[in-house]
Each structure stands twice: as structure tokens, then as C-alpha cells.
Structure 1
């Protein structure tokens, strides 16, 4: 690396404005790539101040609210590093990324810089043609998907768990079972409502584990469902102090740190819960996505459809001791990925 000037690093940290999972995974990605002598150029186009509070930005970071200005800065930089955005993608048969995104990446490589792809995942691997991926991604200095199904469908790169596994309390600091009186539930607003058998199974699990049911909403649009779930389950909806992602993050981590279990069809509800010591039970109308993301951390065994909720409850006790080792292993994988990224960046001269 050129030690005389700062290395210019470009990253888009935008995500769904009301979705805590989007800011959490991007915050961890950003932190993993930070190193001495780096100067970050961050795109936050059309993002609210609530969203931005979830990102651990440095005062020295250069913030752009227009993609055109961000791209122009990249084109003007010497040997720029491009950290391609992490999170869910959905190519839908089209070339990916689109030419307006791929072209600046190619220009960075052509000028002596590099592209890093880390933490990307497909919405549905079964719908993807591997030929859609541009060579600028295939030939990136580092390529790591957040689940094996995405990597297999794309046909290139390796796998590490979602960036959000890097966050949360150390496993050594987790409360023991006696300090976990809650059973947390959070479900997506845009999926079918579970049937009565599911509600009965969740209430039975609370009785089985001597826990109290609470509901939370990590995504603002999920709040009405969280209220309805609390009513249907005889539980309590716990609301955050505000919609600022910093407040929301502190709130849900506090709830999960006191929960024995988190039941959700939100991938980052399960992941953030797991990193605070709440065993993740994935329960969804269509569990394929959450199954893949949890399996990457060896936590996919209790992920299934709504009708399998009683089976997950029956297996829970035998699975509880596996949570800490699985989270530690996932974190070690993410740390290693960060080391690979920084090593690749340092090789740019």
C-alpha cells in the first residue's frame, strides 16, 4: 500500500431505511474493512437520520448523498478500493450488477484499484442464472457469500456467515438460563399470518421453558403485526424508545439478552437474537432464506415452516448448549474474512 497518502475506500452503506438488520450487517462490514491509512467514501443516498444512527461512522469519513458525486470521486481517486455492497440481491435473470454500477467498478480495477465482494446473498438461488454475474464480480480480489446456497447458485466465491454475527455481546458475557425469563417473537408484516396450531405451539413452548412471551419489531413496518401477535399469544409488545436505529438496536439487544429463545421469520431477528444468547427458532411460511443464513453458522436445525413449530419446541432443550460454540465459530469466520479484506487492500500499491 502507498503509505504516503490515505487509501481511498468506497462503500455504499444504504439499505432499507426502517430495517435494523440492514444497518447492522453494513455496520459490521464497514468496521471489518477499516484500517490504518484508509479514507472512506460512503454513499448514503436517500437515507434518513434514523438509519444513519445505526452506523459507526468516523468524523473523517466523506459522506455522499448522490451516487453521481460518489462515482466521480471514485473515478478521480488513485487506485481506489471498491467494497461492493453487502446484503440481499435479486438479479431476476438480468445482468448483475447493471452496467451503470459495473462500469465504475471496472474503471477502479483498470486504474490499479480493486473490488471486494463480501457478505452478499441471493434472495432465491433457484431463480438465478449464474451467467448473469459480471466478470468484475467474478474476478474480485475477495468474493464471499453469506450462505452456501447463494455461492452454489452463482458458481464462484466462498462462504462466511452474515456480517451481523460479528456484533453483539461476547458469549462469555451472556446471561445464563436463570437470567432469561423471556421468549421473544417477531414476524414479518408481509407474510401469511400463522394458524391457530402455531399460536398454541408457541404458548406451549413458553410454558415448557417457564418463560414469558414478548414481541418486538426490528422493522418499523412489522410493528402492527407485533402488536397483534402479543394479543394473540397473551404476551406483551415491547416498543423501542424511538425509530432511530441506535435506539432500536439497543432495545432489541436488551430484549434478546433476557430471552431464552427468539422465534422469527426475519433473518436478522434470528441472527441478532443469537448473538445476544437467545436460541434462534426460525419459523416461516417460506423458510428457505432464513434456513440458508442460519445454516452458514451451524444454527439451521430449528428452522422450518409454521407447521413444524411443535417439532422445534421438542428439540430445543438438546440444542441450547450448541448456541455459544456456533456463534463463536461464526464470529471467527467473519473475523477471518475481515483479515482477508484488509490483506487484499494492503496489497494495492
Structure 2
């Protein structure tokens, strides 16, 4: 299975099966690690073809559907590189990661390979402490968190924006604000329904900006809420042509590319919107997560709780010109993280 002429790289690209944000951030991470002379061993345990359609897999990638087989292959490989899974983590218990996950990571380092940890974020930083994290993560060749709150709670590593900021058209190719007739809205299915004051704030923002309210669902479970929102706001629910992540990605990017702004409590709805030139307005029952992720890109000015949304409308026009510079800087930071990954992998090839 293994050749001394190829560098064996192991990565778990699994995420929530119906969540576009999960496949987008992992796809960007995966592409950042690509390079000549590497063989990628990809774990996709329990993932549907809809989810997999959003990943940039190559014909010679080795796909695994069982973690045990994937771990065994890593243990057999000479000097493997382990790409620790990116995205949100929620450590439980006294040690993260647990022994079953940390053992192959330690072996990769001890055998002359490398561990890359890039793009991690804690669900709730206040509930984590530095002592919770296994030493193996501190020994990684690259350790980067996607927000400062997560890094500060862990007590080690550095910070770069979420991988999803890497995608989307160049800012110079965005439609200008006068050619963006839509105001996109999307909300999580598992949070409290906003009150009438919030709904009126959205309507007022649309009127103020001469835009038309549309709703989308980048997560399939959000679709019923998107339908309800469209009805409550007098807008239109724009349904994707299918649940395949490749189709869903093209659909939401098409909508956001015509939107002046996006109002959402979905972190990756806001991020993907920003990459398409729609100003991210974060509005949530609990905005701590979206605030942290957008702050890493300098885009947290219009983020707050439901009752703050009415304050953001009058500020939007003056903020619009800052979106492109913030996106350019965020992409430079993400690209820099990619260069560090490439250098770390070359060092052990």
C-alpha cells in the first residue's frame, strides 16, 4: 500500500452530513495540503454521496469508510503526516483528544512524520482549560485555531481565520452594491424563534437598502425555518436544486453574490456570504460563536443578539466599503497558514 516515493497523508474529512459549512471548510483545508508526491488517505465514515460531492477528491485518493482501517493504515505507513480534523470541537472529560485518537498522532510524530492541527475552534471556550489538551497537540508542526477565544482557552498555538474564507471570487470581481438587489436571511432550526421586533428590523433594513428579502437554507434541517421566515418577512424562500453539497454550494453562492448583506446566526452562512461580497450581519440568540469567527477576519462590527439588529441597519452603509479589505486580509492570513502547512510537510517528506 505504501511507497517510499510518496508521502502518506491521513485526513478525516467527515462533518455534519447536511451542513454545507462543514464540507466547505474541510475542502479548503484539504486543498491547502495538496502537493506533488503525496498520497492522501481520506476517512469518510458514514458520509453520504451528497456530502462527498462537496469535497475536491482526486482519483488516486484512498478512501476509507471505517476508522479502524484508516488508523491501521496510518500505523503501517512510514513517516505519515496526520492532518487533524478542522472545524468545531467540544472537548469532554479530562483529556482531548482521547487515547484512541492521540495514539496515531503521537506515532506520526515519533516516527519522523508530522502532525498538522489547523482550523480548530472550540464550541464554548469558557468550558475548556489548557490542562484538558493532550501534549500531542502542542507538539504539532503547525497548530492554529480559527478564533482567538479558542486559542486563549487552550493556551497554545496561533490564530488564522476559518478555512471557508479561502473560497469565493476575488473581491475585485464582486458585483458592486448597486447591483445587489437582495437581502439574504437564514437562521438555525435549533434556536429560539425571533420576536416581532426582530422581524420588523429585517423589514426595515430591506426598505432602507431598497433590497428584497430572500431566505435560504445552507443546512437541510434549516429549510422549514427558512420557509417560515420567508412567510413572516414577506420574502421568498429560494430552494436549492438538490441536497448535494456541490449543488447547494453553487446555489447559496449565487444568492449571496446578488445580496447586499446576509442576516444570519449560522457562522458559515455569514462567512460564505462575506466571501461572495454580502456584508455579514450576525444576529443570534447567543452570538458568541459567530462573533468569535467573524472577529478573526475583522468582520464582527455588526454582530449581536436579536434585540441589537435594529441598531445595525443604520450602520450598514458606512460599513460596506470595509468588507473587501477585510476579506483580502483574511484570505492572505489563510493563505499564509497554507504555506506553513506546505513547509511542515516538505520538512518530513
Tell whether 2:116 aligns with 1:116.
yes
CA distance in 2, matches of 1:287, 1:163: 20
SS for the counterpart of 1:197 is helix
Q: How does 1:194-233 map to 2 (within 5 A)?
A: 194-233=194-233
Q: Number of matched residues?
A: 347
Tell whether 2:294 aligns with 1:297.
no
Match of 1:13 in 2: 13
Match of 1:152 in 2: 152
Q: Note if contact 1:93-1:129 (Cα within 8 Å) is conserved in structure 2.
A: no
In the alignment, structure 2 segments of 5+ residues that lack a partner are none
- 1:254-283 Cα shifts (integer Å, max 9, x gaps): 000000000000000000000000000000
Deviation at 1:4, TM superposition (A): 6.0
SS for the counterpart of 2:63 is strand
TM-score (ref. length: structure 2)? 0.98
Match of 1:236 in 2: 236
Deviation at 1:110, TM superposition (A): 1.6
Q: How does 1:261-340 map to 2 (within 5 A)?
A: 261-340=261-340
SS for the counterpart of 2:54 is coil
Match of 2:192 in 1: 192
CA distance in 2, matches of 1:169, 1:249: 13
Worse-matched range after superposition: 106-115 or 162-171: 106-115
SS for the counterpart of 2:344 is helix
Deviation at 1:36, TM superposition (A): 1.1
Q: Note if contact 1:263-1:280 (Cα within 8 Å) is conserved in structure 2.
A: yes
Tell whether 2:30 aligns with 1:23.
no
Deviation at 1:151, TM superposition (A): 0.2
Q: Note if contact 1:92-1:127 (Cα within 8 Å) is conserved in structure 2.
A: no
CA distance in 2, matches of 1:126, 1:312: 27
Q: How does 1:16-165 map to 2 (within 5 A)?
A: 16-165=16-165
Worse-matched range after superposition: 287-296 or 110-119: 110-119
Deviation at 1:94, TM superposition (A): 3.3
Deviation at 1:178, TM superposition (A): 2.0
- 1:51-81 Cα shifts (integer Å, max 9, x gaps): 0000011111000000011011101111000
Deviation at 1:220, TM superposition (A): 0.3
CA distance in 2, matches of 1:138, 1:128: 16
Deviation at 1:130, TM superposition (A): 1.3
Deviation at 1:109, TM superposition (A): 1.3
CA distance in 1, matches of 2:278, 2:135: 40
Give the root-mean-square deviation of aligned CA atoms.
Answer: 0.9
- 1:310-345 Cα shifts (integer Å, max 9, x gaps): 111121111000000100100000000000000000
Q: Note if contact 1:93-1:127 (Cα within 8 Å) is conserved in structure 2.
A: no
Deviation at 1:133, TM superposition (A): 0.4
Following TM superposition, the consecutive aligned residue runs of length 4 or more in structure 1 with deviations greater than 6 angstroms are: none
CA distance in 1, matches of 2:60, 2:289: 37
CA distance in 2, matches of 1:124, 1:21: 18
Q: Note if contact 1:265-1:284 (Cα within 8 Å) is conserved in structure 2.
A: yes
